[in-house]
Homo-oligomer: A and B are copies of this chain.
Amino acid sequence: MDAERLREVMGRAMEIGREKIPLGSVASYIPELSKARKDALGLCIALPDGSVYKTGDTNIRFTIQSISKVISLCKALELHGPQEVFRHVGMEPSGEAFNSIVELDLQANRPFNPMINSGAIAVESTIIDYVSFEDMLEYARLLCNDSGITMNRQVYHSEMNSCDRNRAIAYLLKSKEIITTNVDNSIELYTKLCSLNVTAESLANFALLLAKGGVSPFTGERLLAEETVRTVLSIMLTCGMYDGSGRFAVEVGVPTKSGVGGGLMAAVHGRAGVGIYGPSLDKRGNCIAGCEMMKQLSRDLGLHMF
List the B side residues contacting A247 at CB < 8 Å.
90-92
Q: Is B246 touching A91 in the complex (CB atoms < 8 A)? A: yes
Tally A residues with Cβ within 8 Å of B: 49
Give Cα A282–Cα B103 distance, bound, in whole angstroms: 23
Task: Judge if A136 is at the interface, Cβ distance under 8 Å.
Answer: no
Q: In angstroms, how far is the closest chain B Cβ from the Cβ of A240?
A: 11
Task: Judge if A230 is at the interface, Cβ distance under 8 Å.
Answer: yes
Q: In angstroms, how far is the closest chain B Cβ from the Cβ of A118?
A: 11
List the B side residues contacting A244 at CB < 8 Å.
92
Q: Is A93 touching B91 in the complex (CB atoms < 8 A)? A: no
List the B side residues contacting A82 at CB < 8 Å.
250
List the B side residues contacting A91 at CB < 8 Å.
246-247, 249-250
Partner of A245, one of B93, B105, B167, B174: B93
Task: Judge if A229 is at the interface, Cβ distance under 8 Å.
Answer: yes
List the B side residues contacting A305 at CB < 8 Å.
234, 269, 305
Task: Judge if A165 is at the interface, Cβ distance under 8 Å.
Answer: yes
Task: Judge if A259 is at the interface, Cβ distance under 8 Å.
Answer: no
Q: Is A171 touching B168 in the complex (CB atoms < 8 A)? A: yes
Give Cα A92–Cα B94 distance, bound, in whole angstroms: 9
Task: Judge if A3 is at the interface, Cβ distance under 8 Å.
Answer: no
List the B side residues contacting A102 at CB < 8 Å.
101-102, 105-106
Q: In angstroms, how far is the closest chain B Cβ from the Cβ of A49?
A: 20
Quick one: closest B residue to A169, CB to CB?
A: B168
Give Cα A17–Cα B212 distance, bound, in whole angstroms: 32
List the B side residues contacting A235 at CB < 8 Å.
246, 250
List the B side residues contacting A250 at CB < 8 Å.
82, 91, 230-231, 234-235
List the B side residues contacting A183 at CB < 8 Å.
164, 167
Quick one: closest B residue to A226, CB to CB?
A: B306
Quick one: closest B residue to A86, CB to CB?
A: B247
Q: In angstroms, how far is the closest chain B Cβ from the Cβ of A254?
A: 11
Task: Judge if A65 is at the interface, Cβ distance under 8 Å.
Answer: no
Task: Judge if A280 is at the interface, Cβ distance under 8 Å.
Answer: no
Q: Is B255 touching A234 in the complex (CB atoms < 8 A)? A: no
List the B side residues contacting A93 at CB < 8 Å.
92-95, 238, 245-246
Nearest 10 interchain pairs by C-beta: A168-B171, A93-B93, A164-B175, A165-B175, A92-B246, A168-B172, A91-B246, A167-B171, A234-B250, A233-B306
Q: List 20 A-B contacts (CB under 8 A).
A: A91-B246, A91-B250, A92-B95, A92-B245, A93-B95, A102-B105, A167-B183, A168-B170, A171-B171, A229-B306, A230-B250, A230-B253, A234-B250, A234-B305, A234-B306, A238-B238, A238-B245, A238-B246, A239-B246, A255-B306
Q: Beyond the given A90-B247, A235-B246, could you list 5 further A-B residue pairs with CB under 8 A, ordered by the A residue number?
A: A93-B94, A102-B102, A105-B105, A164-B175, A230-B304
